[in-house]
């Protein structure tokens, strides 16, 4: 009999991605939030389908993705469609994604496009995986916990500022043209948790043994 080999079998193709959108808003009191979305900042959504404005939003500024669960983990995969120059529907220079939970873990993976990501938790750790192309600010805050960087991320930290329970890092080569007074126009990740630690590593690094600190629950694919 001919010998069989695992090479004779090919894995099934991944399921197709959902149709792109520009605004996603989900808020739940109980239960996990799980989903896959494609965010295209060039899409202009009909007003009928736009979520209500949050307190800090206006008609000229809306989050592209807002996920919140008071009691449950957040498991989200986000693919960002590249946009050229002034192709953003509102003329903004960044995509804004936010996810937060009161009781549960939040995981984030970030990759290209000038993107602002905000992850927050109350009782649980925050796990962030960034692409090797990441060049920008990381603002990490915690009340009871610590900030942990993978060895490779730590080797690319250019500046560090720490005060009270807030640490600010700049990862990669800074571009002075993207600094304006105290603002930064490039990539930025803001993470905050009251009771838990913050972990940051690259998205292609090997996952450590045990709890899977850098496990991919939230994924963003930028080109």
Residue 181 burial (CB count, 10 A): 5
DSSP state of 61: B
Please say whether the beta carbons of 39 and 22 come within 8 A: yes
- Report pLDDT for 179: 65
Is a pLDDT exceeding 50 seen at residue 185?
A: yes
Question: CA 29, 33, 37: angle at the middle one, nearest 5?
Answer: 135
Q: Helix, strand, or coil here: 32? A: coil
- Report pLDDT for 36: 80
- Report pLDDT for 66: 82
pLDDT, the chain, mean: 72
> In terms of pTM, does the model score above 0.75?
no
> Looking up tokens 């905000």, which residue turns up?
118
Percent of the chain with pLDDT over 70: 66
Per residue in 117-169, pLDDT (tens digit) is 777 777 777 778 787 888 888 999 888 888 899 999 999 999 999 888 889 99
- Report pLDDT for 171: 92
Is a pLDDT exceeding 50 seen at residue 214?
A: no
The C-alpha R_g of the chain, in whole angstroms, comes to 19
């Amino acid at each position: 009999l001919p010998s069989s080999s695992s090479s004779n079998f090919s894995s099934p193709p991944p399921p197709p991605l959902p149709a792109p959108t520009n605004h996603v808003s989900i808020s739940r009191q109980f239960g996990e939030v799980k989903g896959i979305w494609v965010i295209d900042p060039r899409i202009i959504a009909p007003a009928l389908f736009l979520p209500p404005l949050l307190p800090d939003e206006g008609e000229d500024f809306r989050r592209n993705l807002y996920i919140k669960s008071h009691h449950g983990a957040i498991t989200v995969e986000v693919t960002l469609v590249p946009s050229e120059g002034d192709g953003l529907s509102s003329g903004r220079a960044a995509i804004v994604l936010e996810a937060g939970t009161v009781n549960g873990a939040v995981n984030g993976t970030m990759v290209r496009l000038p993107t602002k990501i905000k992850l927050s938790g109350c009782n649980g750790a925050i796990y962030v995986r960034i692409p090797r192309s990441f060049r920008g600010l990381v603002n990490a805050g915690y009340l009871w916990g610590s900030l942990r960087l993978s060895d490779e991320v730590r080797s690319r930290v250019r500046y560090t500022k720490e005060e009270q329970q807030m640490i600010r890092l700049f990862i990669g080569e800074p571009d002075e043209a993207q600094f304006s007074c105290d603002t930064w126009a490039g990539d930025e990740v803001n993470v905050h948790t009251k009771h838990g630690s913050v972990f940051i590593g690259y998205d292609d690094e090997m996952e450590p043994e045990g709890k899977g600190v850098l496990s991919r629950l939230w994924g963003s694919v930028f080109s």
